Amino acid sequence: MNTGVQHRWAPVPEKRHLAQDFACTKETGLNAVQPGVPWAWVELKPGELSLSDYDRLVHLVEKNELGVIHSAMAIIKPYWINREIPGSEMIDHVGRKVASSNPGESQLRAP
């Protein structure tokens, strides 16, 4: 059975702390990490995936002998999605279209 933590990407924690974070995760007795993959970070342009940051993260998790539970965070969608796919806006709790639901921290890599 996997017992672990969800890990969010930058800006917190900084990359320099990742190895220590995963070592501490292992020391606590947990055995897995679920890195949330923000769609906006891995597909900056339509059809062009950039997974190098994610690959480094998974490598560090595995280096600490932890399992990886893959997941995608579709709520953090790329800027280009509404332009490329009209009608793809999210709908909020009262039925209004939400043109962008990107939290501020997810925009650090935006073009």
Q: What is the pLDDT of residue 67?
A: 93
Distances (CA, A) of 70 to 21, 23, 42, 61, 111: 18, 19, 14, 12, 25
Q: What is the pTM of this model?
A: 0.68
- Give CA–CA dist 7/36, Å, rounded: 6
- Give CA–CA dist 61/76, Å, rounded: 23
pLDDT along the chain (111 residues), means of 10: 73 72 90 84 88 86 90 77 84 80 47 40
Q: Which amino acid is at 77?
A: K
